[in-house]
Every structure is written in structure tokens, then in C-alpha cells.
Amino acid sequence: MDRQEQIEFLLDHYENPRNKGKLENADAAMTWGNPGCGDIITMYANVGPDEKLTAVTFEGQGCTISQASASVLTEWIKGKTLADIESMGHEELIDLLGRDVVMTRTRCALLSLDALKLALKEYERNKVRAENNTTIQKYQATQN
């Protein structure tokens, strides 16, 4: 995309956000924001059995770039796995959004990806915790 198309692309995502809204009973959710600034993003995700993201939505308010970035991200990560998201670097999202349009505003541009990564980390921690609890319970059952 040239600069013109990239700006139209971002404005379209800001004004007509995709996958915006709360995902009820989401497997993973995290709210993240820039302190002192209006930008706030909550990313929701459901994870399938093969660790693929089956649904991703966002809620939030703030500037054009932070909100457009969240919308773009929800479309881009369809069908991606947890490992894909974990390995996705900041640079990749910046390129996706248009480097020369968002480079002066990386803090806003990256808010959505950071929120999603944190949500999925929390999801994995909870999963490990749940597995550990099951193991402990099983162990305790054999002891009784």
C-alpha cells in the first residue's frame, strides 16, 4: 500500500471498527492503556483446542491510531496460534499499520498487541494453574 492507501485503511478501521464489542465468557481478556492518556483497549480472545484463536474482539476508546490498530489486529490474527502471537514482534504490527504513518505514534499503535499478548499470557498461566490443580487434586485423591 502507498501512503495514501495506508491512511485510508487506518481511517476506515477507526471509523468502521471490525470485531468491536465484548466477547462474553472469553477465554482470555486484558485491558491495557497509556497512563495519563485517553487510550484504552480491552482485547478478548477465545482459544480452540489446537491453540488457534477462534475469536478475537476488542473494546476501547482513544485516538485514531490506537483504535484502528486494534481493529486491524483482530482481522489479521484470525486463525493464528498462541505461538504465532507470542512471536509476533512490534515491528510486524507497525509494518502492517504503515510504518511512515504510525512511527511517531508507536505507543498508541502497539497498545492492542500488548494487550492481546498479556491476555494470552494470563490465559496460559491460568491453564497451567488449572492443570497443576488437577494434578494436585488427583495426587491428594490417591493419598486419601
Partner 1 sequence: MPTRIPSAKIYLDHAATTPVDPRAAALMQSLGNEKFANPNSSYLLGQESRRAVEDARRKISKILNCAPGELIFMGGGTEADNLAIKGFAYSNQDRGRHIITSTIEHHAVLRTCQYLERRGFTVTYLSVDSTGLVDAHDVKKALRPDTILVSIMHANNEIGTVQPIAEIGALLAETEVYFHTDAVQTVGHLPVDVQKLNVDLLSFSAHKFYGPKGVGGLYMRRGTVIDPLIHGGGQEHDLRSGTENVAGIAGMGLALEIASEFLEEEATRLSRWRDRLIKEILQRIEGARLTGHPTERLPGTVSFCFENVDGESIILKLDLEGICASTGAACHAGEISPSHVLLALGLEPTLANGSLRLTLGRTNSASDLDCVLEILPKAIQNLRAMSAAH
Residues lying near partner 1 in the complex (CB under 8 A) are found at: 3-4, 7-8, 10-11, 14-17, 20, 34-39, 62-66, 101, 104-108
Grid cell, residue 38, equals 485517553
Hey, what's the torsion of the CAs at 28, 22, 39, 6, to 10 degrees? 90
Pair 54, 140: CB distance under 8 Å: no
Minimum gap (Å) between residue 94 Cβ and partner 1: 14
Closer residue to partner 1, CB minimum distance, 16 or 31: 16
Closer residue to partner 1, CB minimum distance, 101 or 113: 101
Minimum gap (Å) between residue 8 Cβ and partner 1: 7
Closer residue to partner 1, CB minimum distance, 27 or 39: 39
Alpha-carbon Rg for the chain, nearest whole angstrom, is: 17
Compute the distance between CA of residue 138 and CA of residue 6 in angstroms, rounded to an integer: 55
Cβ within 8 Å of residue 121, ≥6 positions away: none
Minimum gap (Å) between residue 118 Cβ and partner 1: 18
Compute the distance between CA of residue 113 and CA of residue 119 in angstroms, rounded to an integer: 10
Minimum gap (Å) between residue 67 Cβ and partner 1: 8
Closer residue to partner 1, CB minimum distance, 109 or 120: 109
3-state secondary structure (DSSP) of residue 36: coil
